[in-house]
Structure 1
Amino acid sequence: MNTPSEFRELEAYHAAVVRTALDGIVVIDGDGLVVDFNPAAEAIFGYDRNAVIGDPIADLIIPPEHRAAHEHGLSTYLATGAGRVLGKRLELPAMLSTGELIPIELAITDVTLGGRRLFAAHIRDLRAARRAEAEIREQRNALHQKEKLAALGSLLAGVAHELNNPLSIITGQALMMREAMEERTVADWNGLVRRCERISTAADRCARIVRSFLDMARQREAERTPTRLETVVNEAVELLGYTMGAAGITVERRWAQDLPVLALDSSQIHQVVLNLLVNAQQALEQGGGVDRKITVGIAVDRAESAVSLTIDDNGPGVPEAIRSRIFDPFFTTKPQGAGTGIGLAVSKGLVEAHGGSLMLGDAPGGGARFIIRLPCEAVQPNEAESARPAAKADRPAPDRHLLVVDDDVAIAELLAEIAGRLGYAVTVTHGGNEARGRITARGGEFDAILCDIRMPAGDGPGLYDWLQESHPALAGRIGFVTGDTLGPLAGRFLARSGCPMIEKPFTPGDIEAFLDDLTTPR
């Protein structure tokens, strides 16, 4: 049994440990009243120890919405000895003296002494850890973005060719069709239809190229949607078509026609495939040889519920000495200035975020093989990705009124023509200032508005803000048709407003679906 002197020494020792602890220590009794409040707790919560001794802990640091649960848990433990939180590490919100909520890590221990029920809470302020996590996340996103921009830079040499080819088809076929119609020599209507199809195909190719670059360049959260992996691969191969051809590299694609639809972020997987193809191309260019070939294959493993994408090249392969390091960040075998060293690390991270894996293997007959395995889940294809919507034979009379706002006269006229065929009466304006006048003149009686974002005579954000004040109901039926989604003005505006948006270039089917969504009551 301790003597009074020994007890005082033990108490002093205990007090010294508590006072110098780095974590906050708060001791309460069975009534929930503060018995001790160490200096670290004072620093965290902003209270003076002497001012809080004897006060209910619930009123000090527990947020109001959690106080009832705290009191119930304490009374239950005192009555039954059963507690759900004692001895466990929990992450919870806590309240400062200013009323601000902060994240904390908490562990509560029963330290009953001499028959008096006491509970000690060890508290760690998680604000610094959360800030560090956010900084790491931002740095990781910055690395991803840097790698995407590096990939874009390696593709820019072929962009002009990739766009100029289909643009040449569009221009040439359109001029020839115009000449034939002006000379009234159109006897073969099937030939005219074929010219229209060639123009449409070439324009669609331009749109896919632009979309691919926009998807790579923009920063956004991952969004998995029903996606056909073979479509993603085809787009990446098409994007590299010119540079591959110029380097004397052939690309062979091997897969069945009945591949499943996967839940993927198509932009991220496109980035991975593009990066692996560029790596294979560079390996073949550095390795020399005349028969340069890349083989892309997709296979389904039904037993493992997985899909495998393989990218093989017949180059020199990856030396054994560096095989264990190629996925390490900033490791590169490329010359100074030719690579960031983060492409494979980023690609591996993106694939693993999809629940898959990225591995290195050996291609049959020599060369490198990269294998992407992705989980194969039952996903229904997106109906919007199916066939082009059928034309409606009988359009209703123009009982709905649409306002088109675009400073590009040709775009405005095209939108008006598409909407007119859908049964809309259309008013066309060429800037936000003119649009305000038309809206005021009609007392806001428009069913929907299609608006550009950047216009010299009154921009889209200004028109939207004016609508919120003057015609709030109409502000909920405005949609933006823009080609400037990467611009800082457009990005900030769309983020704050939450307005629906469709990117240029668009198809009549795109506009029809967009207008249906705008005019559907919510």
Structure 2
Amino acid sequence: MADGERRLPDSSALLAAAPEGVGEGAWIDVIQKMDEVYSDLLQYEVALEEKNAKLEESQGFILSVLTSISDILVVCDRRGRIEEVNRSLEAFTGRASEVLRGSPFFDLLADPAAIELARGWFALRGDAPIHDCELSLRAADGSAVPVSLNCTPRYSSVGKSLGMVITGRPVGELRKAYSALRQAHDDLKRTQQQLLHSEKMASLGRLVAGVAHELNNPISFILGNTHALKRYAGRLAEYLAAVHACEQPEVLSELRQRLRIDRILGDLDPLIEGTIEGAERTRDIVDGLKRFSALDREESSRFDLVAVIGRSVTWVCKAAPERFTVDVRLPAELPVSGSSGQMQQVVMNLVQNASDATAGQGAARLQIDGTVEDGAVVVRFHDNGPGIDARHLPHIFDPFFTTKPVGSGTGLGLSISYGIVERHGGALTAGNHPDGGAEFVLRLPRAGDGQGRS
């Protein structure tokens, strides 16, 4: 038998020690009761040892938690006397826990105003906790350090007030953390703007060929008219020189007919008007490019979405490497409010995605339908491509998500478009059309007549 193990008394010895006049049966009952009591005592002892072990484990756990807390922690009684502290407070004050226990909490404070305020906490003994109260505590080096304190009342198992638990952190650390958070937020906003502009430049680069073709027509027209005007100017100069030389009427008449002065005078107005029209067309294209490529200025004005869609479709179709047909069915006007340049980026992205999705098909087609529904402008972009895989639909607007091969897309176009539409108070949704192909629905608030025009 192991040392310390308890052993029940021998039954035969107990029977032999039976008192005189007590029957054997009665004495056996007494012995059985003793066995039961002894067994219960053993069970109680085992249970007590288990509870003591759990209590020691709980105390060790609480001690490890108190030791690991980086914030200062003080447990006070109802009068403000310190009952327990953690190592952070010891390190902060430079005083051991044995010295701090039993001393007033107010001795930790650095100025009379803080002491007066803290005394009020314990005098009121209210149930409401105190959050983020900044007081100055005396540090180990004697300096006054502002600390953000949180105080929570503590109670006994029967609800009796026992005092307060006070935790705190030096405000300097909080300010450093806030400064780092603000810097990270600024960096994130700056990166977001850079990504937005980079995506716009990438879209602009893909459309350079189409825009160059669009510019070529009016510029060629202006150049041809300018050459014609230059020839006409030479003939008019020759005729005017003869007039100023006071030539005979017969000579002037013959010269007028040979130089075709009457025809020149008849052509001047159409040539000038055509040149002005070509210059204005060039100016409009360049102005559209400037608005599209410019950084966001948070400008908001009333503009016609029909014109934006028409310009976007023209540019994308000119740059499309394969045959790509766009069927546009829009009303005369779709007035919306916001940034026409940003909305042009959205439309161009949707049209470009449709062009990419239908590439390689015999008859690549995109149908754009626009209506006004319940005070909102609704434009649907339905292509005849393969549609969107069901597993990709929940992620279609996620940043950097793309199904295109590596190097063919950044995965930012739809994400940025979604954000632009959302900032304009609208919504951009994606799905598969019942007749096949993908369908994107752009919904924007319709601009009222009282809003300014762009």
Equivalence for 1:316: 386
SS in 2 for 1:359: strand
Equivalence for 2:402: 332
Question: Does 1:289 find its partner at 2:289?
Answer: no
Question: Does 1:358 find its partner at 2:433?
Answer: no
Equivalence for 1:233: 309
Choose which of 347, 351, 372 in structure 2 pairs with 1:273.
Answer: 347
SS in 2 for 1:226: strand
Between Structure 1 and Structure 2, which shows a larger proportion of helix residues? 2
CA separation of 1:338/1:53 partners in 2, compared to 1, >3 Å: closer, same or farther? same
Q: CA–CA distance in 2 between the matches of 1:131 and 1:42?
A: 33
CA separation of 1:372/1:190 partners in 2, compared to 1, >3 Å: closer, same or farther? same
Q: CA–CA distance in 2 between the matches of 1:95 and 1:380?
A: 57
Q: CA–CA distance in 2 between the matches of 1:369 and 1:309?
A: 10
Equivalence for 2:54: none
Deviations, residues 156-179 of structure 1 (Å, cap 9, x unaligned): 333432332332223223333444
Question: Does 1:248 find its partner at 2:323?
Answer: yes
In structure 1, stretches of 5+ residues that fail to align are: 1-9, 60-70, 98-103, 386-522
Deviations, residues 130-185 of structure 1 (Å, cap 9, x unaligned): 44444444444444344333323322333432332332223223333444345343
CA separation of 1:191/1:141 partners in 2, compared to 1, >3 Å: closer, same or farther? closer
Equivalence for 1:301: 373
TM-score, normalised to structure 2, is 0.58
Equivalence for 2:412: 342
Does structure 1 conserve the Cα–Cα contact (< 8 Å) formed by 2:380 and 2:440?
Answer: yes
Does structure 1 conserve the Cα–Cα contact (< 8 Å) formed by 2:382 and 2:433?
Answer: yes
After superposition, residues 485-496 of structure 1 pair within 5 angstroms as none
SS in 2 for 1:316: coil
Deviations, residues 470-517 of structure 1 (Å, cap 9, x unaligned): xxxxxxxxxxxxxxxxxxxxxxxxxxxxxxxxxxxxxxxxxxxxxxxx
Displacement of 1:281: 0.8
Question: Does 1:120 find its partner at 2:166?
Answer: yes
Count residues with an aligned counterpart.
Answer: 343
Deviations, residues 201-244 of structure 1 (Å, cap 9, x unaligned): 322233234314522xx4x4644443433333233223224124
CA separation of 1:171/1:78 partners in 2, compared to 1, >3 Å: closer, same or farther? farther
Q: Which has the higher contact order (CA 8 A, sep 6+)?
A: 2
Displacement of 1:300: 1.9
Displacement of 1:280: 0.6
After superposition, residues 145-294 of structure 1 pair within 5 angstroms as 145-184=197-236, 185-187=264-266, 190-192=269-271, 194-215=273-294, 218=295, 220=296, 222-244=298-320, 247-262=322-337, 264-286=338-360, 288-290=361-363, 292-294=364-366
Choose which of 27, 34, 54 in structure 1 pairs with 2:109.
Answer: 54
Structure 1 residue identity aligned to 2:287: R
Percent identity over paired residues: 30
Equivalence for 2:40: none
Equivalence for 1:108: 150
Larger Rg: 2
CA separation of 1:251/1:26 partners in 2, compared to 1, >3 Å: closer, same or farther? farther
Does structure 1 conserve the Cα–Cα contact (< 8 Å) formed by 2:206 and 2:319?
Answer: no
